[in-house]
């Protein structure tokens, strides 16, 4: 089959065209970023070749000297970036270049905020940095051949960025990838060797691969000789290395500037923004490794997916081994980006070996402690910055209470929650803050969980706590139920749900004897009411009792001390788990007018309806769904009619 029969012209998908237009015209305010993206892609290609060549040295094809070449030609107005890395097959070009953002174009659009600065940071996360080339070019041609394939399996991809692209099979003697940009009018600055060198040194100095360009002096020599013989004897310019070509993490910390750390983060984290913080450490002794770990400023679009990892690159003696080495960082730290370079692991290490290697366990443990230490310093010394971290990553970080019991105490000190102290949804209250504000005689840390902040803030269970000025943590994140299940105490103080068990505020508030006497008197006075409600509700409740936690609401639901709470039960059911429903305890407030009116009701049918209304109102107030909403509406309408004195009968028509 000839090469010509392999040529195709294809349209970008509708969403891909929209995204391409967005990248070109809206998101990039800094044109020079395109060169960083192309160089970064070339570096990744070289890393992948090194890794695959560990088990198949023939992939080097006799050329193991990996480099990145950058060159330009003023006459045809082209800028070229070439590498001798892994290259791509035709299918890989289709998968990685022919379609934009294969990881989720729709998610990209859903993630857009309208803020140009924030939106530009999404580009690296969605793998569309290559398309930044169209900011400065009206046509881009990519020629590539995958290592190990024969020259006739070369592929050329070309597009003007206007909605379609062509792809064809070509002869390609050299493995690797070459990207040629045909520059727009007005982009002459990118045909200047000194300008290109400045951009490379600014953005890509940390790349461990040599980035080479033709020497400017020799280029000028050929252009300067006016009519002399030297002009025809123009020598091909020698290449010179433009960057330092040293792995940044191998250098001493004192030699690395903050700007260099930030630029390396953008490369390793595929991010366009600066990192929030970083830690660089070299461990020596029984185990030798270097770690350079970053906390991003913004969360990735797929941060909530525990199976998605984009974080840690593993190197062995500066040789890239693998991306997303999940064994090096626990799931609750999946937001961390960076590298770990081991001096002890074998070069042929695999993911299977990583799962059962004590050295990996030690590196993981040490790296986790480094990140925790960095966050502890931030929380103590840079509280505003830590508040930004918590807003982006707090819900993920809470998972550490479950994932990492060895560090649970340290993690507990870093947790932040909303509470009745501020009475807003900002999670800025630490457990240490709560303990420092506990009332005299208070022995427990009180909390309430629910489906939303609005639900927990307005919960009737809070009424007596608000009356007595006792702070309660307001937990509305989905993970919070599991957090309080595993974090049962802090600083010797047990955590207590205010929706479970009989309420015992101990020495708080009025004298204990006086409180007990009042409760006993209320139970005796309304014993008949309690029995009637219990009979009316039957098997729907475990028990009915007089409350000591309500001051304004007529009723609420309470779970047994060791039973599943209603919120946790709903979460488990929503996740598809089989849960045996536990019956709630209904507490009624005898001081509420509706309950007093219920106590006076003699009609058995009406009493039963109103008792059900109290139960269903209590279910709704904690965010539960009613099994029969229609019946609830009918009962509610009947009660409203009864209280208004209307019999519900149609009016009698008067005779004319």
310 & 457 share domain:
no
pLDDT at 491: 94
Contact 598, 532 (CB under 8 A): no
Phi/psi for 598 (5° steps) reads -65, -40
Tokens of 587: 């507490």
396 belongs to a structural domain: no
* Dihedral (CA of 466, 469, 472, 474) sign: positive
- What percentage of residues in the chain have a pLDDT greater than 70? 83
Least confident of 65-74, 146-155, 484-493, 642-651: 642-651
Q: Measure the CA–CA gap between 359 and 362, rounded to whole angstroms.
A: 5
pLDDT at 375: 97
Terminal CA-CA length for the chain:
98
508 belongs to a structural domain: no
Which of 381, 403, 438 is the endpoint of a domain?
381
| CATH number of the CATH domain containing 590 | 1.20.120.790
519 belongs to a structural domain: no
Residues β-bridged to residue 213:
240
Residue 623 burial by Cβ neighbours in a 10 Å radius (0-12, 13-18, 19+): middle
Instruction: Name the strand (E) or helix (H) holding 546.
Output: strand 543-546
- Beta pairing class for 211-214 and 137-145: unpaired
Question: Of residues 504 and 542, which shows the higher confidence score?
Answer: 542
386 belongs to a structural domain: no
- In tens, the pLDDT along 404-454 reads 999 999 999 999 999 999 999 999 999 999 999 999 889 999 999 988 899
Question: Of residues 462 and 115, which shows the higher confidence score?
Answer: 462
242 & 263 share domain:
no
> pLDDT at residue 108 above 70?
no
459 & 545 share domain:
no
Question: Of residues 386 and 14, which shows the higher confidence score?
Answer: 386
126 belongs to a structural domain: yes
226-256 burial, b for 16+ CB within 10 Å, e for fewer?
eeeeeeeeeeebeeeebbbbebbbeeeeeeb
Instruction: Name the strand (E) or helix (H) holding 490.
Output: strand 489-490
Three-state SS string across 108-135, please? HHHHCCCCHHHHHCHHHHCCCHHHHHHH
| CATH number of the CATH domain containing 433 | 3.40.50.11260
Phi/psi for 2 (5° steps) reads -80, 165
Range of the domain at 436: 416-497
Residue the block writes with tokens 């919960």: 459
* Dihedral (CA of 633, 638, 643, 649) sign: positive
Average the pLDDT over 32-58 and give the result: 89
466 & 588 share domain:
no
- Mean pLDDT of all residues belonging to the chain: 84
Angle at 280 between CA 278 and CA 286, to 5 degrees: 140
pLDDT band with cut points at 50, 70 and 90 for residue 86: very high
pLDDT band with cut points at 50, 70 and 90 for residue 14: low
91 & 147 share domain:
yes
Q: Of how many residues is the chain composed?
A: 656
Question: Of residues 558 and 504, which shows the higher confidence score?
Answer: 558
pLDDT at 126: 43
Average the pLDDT over 242-251 and give the result: 87
- Beta pairing class for 445-449 and 493-497: parallel
Dihedral of CA atoms 38, 150, 213, 39 in degrees, nearest 10, equals 10
| CATH number of the CATH domain containing 327 | 3.30.230.80
Average the pLDDT over 172-185 and give the result: 95
Q: Where are the alpha helices (DSSP H) in 443-526?
A: 453-457, 463-468, 480-486, 512-525
Number of neighbouring beta carbons within 10 Å of residue 569:
20
Average the pLDDT over 42-65 and give the result: 91
pLDDT at 277: 96
Phi/psi for 275 (5° steps) reads -75, 160
pLDDT at 367: 94
Q: Which of 166, 170, 168 is closest to 152 using CA atoms?
A: 170
Tokens of 150: 């024969």
Average the pLDDT over 601-628 and give the result: 89
pLDDT at 1: 43
515 belongs to a structural domain: no
182 & 242 share domain:
yes
pLDDT at 318: 79
Tokens of 595: 């309950």
What strands, in cross-sheet order, belong to the sheet with 555-558?
A: 543-546, 585-588, 555-558
- In tens, the pLDDT along 622-636 reads 888 888 999 899 988
pLDDT at 104: 44
29 & 145 share domain:
yes
What is the full DSSP assignment across 204-231?
Answer: STT-SS-EEEE-HHHHHHHHH-SSSGGG
pLDDT at 570: 74
* Dihedral (CA of 479, 482, 483, 484) sign: positive
145 & 55 share domain:
yes
pLDDT at 232: 39
Number of domains in the chain: 4
Phi/psi for 119 (5° steps) reads -65, -35
186 belongs to a structural domain: yes
Number of neighbouring beta carbons within 10 Å of residue 616:
22
Q: What are the residues whose beta carbons fall under 8 Å from the beta carbon of 322, sequence distance 6 or more?
A: 51, 313, 314, 351
64 & 201 share domain:
yes
334 & 265 share domain:
yes
Least confident of 112-121, 202-211, 306-315, 463-472: 112-121
Q: Measure the CA–CA gap between 487 and 212, rounded to whole angstroms.
A: 55
pLDDT band with cut points at 50, 70 and 90 for residue 11: confident
* Dihedral (CA of 244, 248, 252, 254) sign: positive
pLDDT at 111: 58
312 belongs to a structural domain: yes
Number of neighbouring beta carbons within 10 Å of residue 299:
18
Give this prediction's pTM.
Answer: 0.74
46 & 183 share domain:
yes
Contact 234, 222 (CB under 8 A): yes
HSE-CB at 276 with a 13 A cutoff on CA atoms is 26
Q: Measure the CA–CA gap between 516 and 508, rounded to whole angstroms.
A: 13
Q: In Å, what is the CA distance from 387 to each residue of 367, 427, 450, 520?
A: 22, 8, 23, 47
27 & 98 share domain:
yes
Instruction: Name the strand (E) or helix (H) holding 354.
Output: helix 351-354
| CATH number of the CATH domain containing 101 | 3.30.565.10
Tokens of 327: 């064994």
């Amino acid at each position: 089959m000839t090469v010509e029969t392999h040529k195709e012209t294809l349209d970008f998908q509708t969403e891909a065209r929209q995204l391409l237009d967005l990248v070109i015209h809206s998101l990039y305010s800094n044109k020079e970023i395109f060169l960083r993206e192309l160089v970064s892609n070339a570096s990744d290609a070289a890393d992948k070749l090194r890794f695959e060549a560990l088990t198949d040295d023939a992939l080097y094809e006799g050329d193991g000297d990996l480099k990145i070449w950058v060159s330009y030609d003023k006459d045809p107005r082209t800028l070229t970036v070439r590498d001798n890395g892994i290259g791509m097959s035709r299918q890989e070009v289709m998968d990685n270049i022919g379609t934009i953002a294969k990881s989720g174009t729709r998610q990209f659009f859903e993630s857009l905020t309208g803020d140009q600065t924030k939106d530009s940071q999404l580009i690296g996360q969605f793998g569309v940095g290559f398309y930044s080339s169209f900011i400065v070019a009206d046509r881009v041609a990519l020629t590539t051949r995958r290592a190990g394939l024969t020259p006739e399996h070369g592929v050329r991809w070309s597009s003007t960025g206007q909605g379609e692209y062509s792809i064809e099979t070509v002869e390609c003697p050299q493995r690797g990838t070459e990207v040629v940009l045909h520059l727009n009018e007005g982009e002459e600055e990118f045909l200047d060797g000194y300008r290109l060198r400045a951009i490379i040194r600014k953005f890509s100095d940390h790349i461990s691969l040599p980035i080479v360009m033709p020497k400017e002096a020799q280029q000028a020599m050929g252009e300067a000789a006016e009519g002399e013989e030297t002009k025809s004897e123009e020598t091909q310019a020698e290449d010179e290395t433009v960057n330092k070509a040293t792995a940044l993490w191998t250098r001493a910390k004192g030699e690395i500037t903050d700007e260099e750390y930030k630029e390396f983060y953008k490369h390793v984290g595929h991010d366009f923004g600066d990192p929030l913080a970083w830690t660089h450490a070299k461990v020596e002794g029984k185990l030798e490794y270097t770690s350079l770990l970053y906390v991003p400023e913004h969360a990735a679009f797929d941060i909530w997916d525990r199976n998605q990892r984009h974080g840690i690159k593993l190197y062995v003696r500066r040789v890239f081994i693998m991306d997303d080495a999940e064994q090096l960082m626990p799931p609750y730290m999946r937001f961390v980006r960076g590298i770990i370079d081991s001096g002890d692991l074998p070069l042929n290490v695999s993911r299977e070996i990583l799962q059962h290697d004590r050295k990996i366990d030690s590196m993981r443990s040490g790296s986790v402690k480094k990140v925790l230490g960095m966050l502890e310093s931030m929380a103590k010394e840079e509280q505003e910055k830590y508040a930004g971290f918590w807003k982006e990553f707090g819900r993920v970080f809470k998972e550490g209470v479950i994932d990492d019991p060895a560090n649970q105490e340290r993690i507990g000190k870093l947790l932040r929650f909303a509470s009745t102290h501020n009475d807003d949804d900002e999670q800025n209250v630490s457990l240490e803050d709560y303990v420092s504000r506990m009332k005299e005689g208070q022995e427990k840390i009180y909390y309430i969980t629910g489906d939303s902040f609005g639900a927990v803030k307005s919960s009737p269970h809070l009424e007596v706590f608000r009356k007595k000025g006792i702070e309660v943590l307001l937990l509305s994140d989905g993970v919070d139920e599991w957090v309080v299940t595993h974090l049962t105490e802090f600083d010797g103080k047990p955590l207590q749900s205010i929706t479970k068990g009989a309420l015992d505020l101990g020495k708080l508030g009025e004298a204990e004897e006086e409180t007990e006497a009042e409760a006993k008197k209320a139970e005796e006075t309304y014993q008949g009411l309690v029995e009637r409600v219990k009979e009316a509700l039957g098997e729907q409740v475990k028990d009915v009792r007089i409350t000591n936690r309500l001051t304004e609401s007529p009723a609420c639901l309470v779970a047994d001390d060791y039973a599943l709470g209603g919120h946790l039960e709903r979460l488990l059911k929503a996740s598809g788990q089989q849960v045996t429903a536990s019956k709630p305890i209904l507490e009624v407030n005898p001081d509420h007018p509706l309950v007093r009116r219920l106590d006076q009701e003699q009609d058995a049918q009406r009493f039963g309806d109103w008792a059900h209304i109290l139960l269903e109102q209590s279910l709704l107030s904690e965010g539960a769904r009613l099994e029969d909403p229609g019946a609830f509406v009918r009962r509610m309408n009947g009660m409203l009619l009864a209280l208004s004195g209307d019999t519900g009968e149609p009016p009698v028509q008067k005779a004319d």
